[in-house]
């Protein structure tokens, strides 16, 4: 006999039922006496939804709760960062959205940026789901100066710039036929990501070889850890350099890639 499936107690009920705090004067809903514990109706009022909708959250009823609503709940209940994570994972299976942004992009955690600098002399960088470079260490910007430009994007540089086609040897086989399948996977994994959609529209239009490969090849690649490239860069005096990339994911920011480039003898 198959073991009985465990009954999952709603994560929201575990948090909300015990964490509804006493309302302060600043946050107390209209008609609620400050200093007394808030009811479901009180929290519903603070989050801008009906009492029934909020009750569905606490009872674990299946609903499509938005990130914005869950963030309002976390604020109303004064949840800690760990409790907020528990709420999101238990209710939606998603992590909370990254709160900090800069120029429309996620902000890399300071500790992760510090770790990035410690990878020298190896080039290393952080990128988001659409390959926008969020931070890069000094060797990375020396090897690949495009990373210093405004809103640098690895995929756009590698697949549309003449510089990349000149500096990455065997560009079509080792770069285009690996990066385009990565883009295809990303389009399925994040169909609502406007920046990934823009790359898919732009790259084949800009580069005829990419347009041909995109039409004829349907391979998929997620993270090409250990992917090798042969480079001929100005900072190396034009001498061929063989490298491999290592793709890591920070636990605190799972939508960010931590990439280290090492040389291969």
The count of other CB atoms within 10 Å of the CB of residue 92 is 16
Cα dihedral across residues 145, 148, 154, 158: positive or negative: negative
> Tens digit of pLDDT for each residue in 83-136?
888 888 888 887 777 655 555 566 778 888 899 999 999 999 999 999 999 999
Q: What is the pTM assigned to this prediction?
A: 0.67
Dihedral angle computed from the Cα positions of residues 18, 21, 27 and 32, in that order, rounded to the nearest 10 degrees? 90
Q: Give the mean model confidence (pLDDT) for residues 49-53.
A: 88
Share of the chain above pLDDT 90, in %: 44
Rounded to whole angstroms, the Cα distance separating 238 from 158 reads: 18
Using an 8 Å Cβ cutoff, are 150 and 140 in contact?
no
Rounded to whole angstroms, the Cα distance separating 169 from 241 reads: 10
Rounded to whole angstroms, the Cα distance separating 251 from 189 reads: 19
The count of other CB atoms within 10 Å of the CB of residue 76 is 23
pLDDT at 40 over 70: yes
> Tens digit of pLDDT for each residue in 207-260?
999 999 999 877 767 666 678 999 999 999 989 999 999 999 988 788 889 999
User: Which one-letter DSSP state was computed for residue 130?
Assistant: T
The count of other CB atoms within 10 Å of the CB of residue 166 is 11
Q: State both tokens at 61.
A: 């009823």
């Amino acid at each position: 006999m198959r073991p009985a499936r465990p009954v999952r107690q709603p994560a929201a009920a575990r948090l909300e039922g015990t964490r509804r705090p006493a309302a302060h004067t600043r946050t107390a809903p209209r008609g609620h006496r400050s200093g007394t514990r808030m009811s479901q109706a009180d929290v519903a009022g603070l989050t801008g939804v009906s009492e029934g909708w909020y009750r569905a959250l606490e009872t674990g009823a299946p609903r499509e709760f938005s990130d914005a609503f869950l963030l309002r709940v976390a604020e109303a209940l004064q949840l800690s960062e760990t409790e907020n994570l528990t709420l999101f994972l238990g209710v939606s299976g998603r992590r909370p959205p990254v709160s900090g942004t800069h120029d429309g992009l996620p902000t890399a955690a300071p500790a992760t940026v510090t770790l990035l600098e410690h990878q020298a002399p190896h080039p290393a960088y952080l990128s988001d789901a659409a390959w926008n470079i969020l931070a890069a260490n000094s060797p990375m910007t020396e090897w690949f100066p495009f990373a210093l430009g405004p809103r640098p994007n690895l995929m756009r540089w590698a697949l549309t710039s003449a510089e990349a086609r000149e500096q990455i040897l065997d560009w079509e086989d080792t770069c285009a036929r690996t990066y385009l399948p990565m883009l295809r996977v990303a389009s399925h994994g994040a169909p609502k990501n406007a920046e990934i959609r823009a790359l898919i529209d732009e790259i084949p239009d800009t580069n005829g070889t990419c347009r041909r490969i995109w039409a004829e090849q349907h391979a998929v690649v997620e993270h090409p850890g250990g992917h090798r490239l042969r480079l001929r860069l100005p900072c190396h005096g034009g001498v061929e350099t063989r490298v491999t990339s290592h793709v890591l994911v920070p636990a605190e920011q799972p939508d960010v890639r931590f990439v280290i480039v090492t040389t291969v003898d």
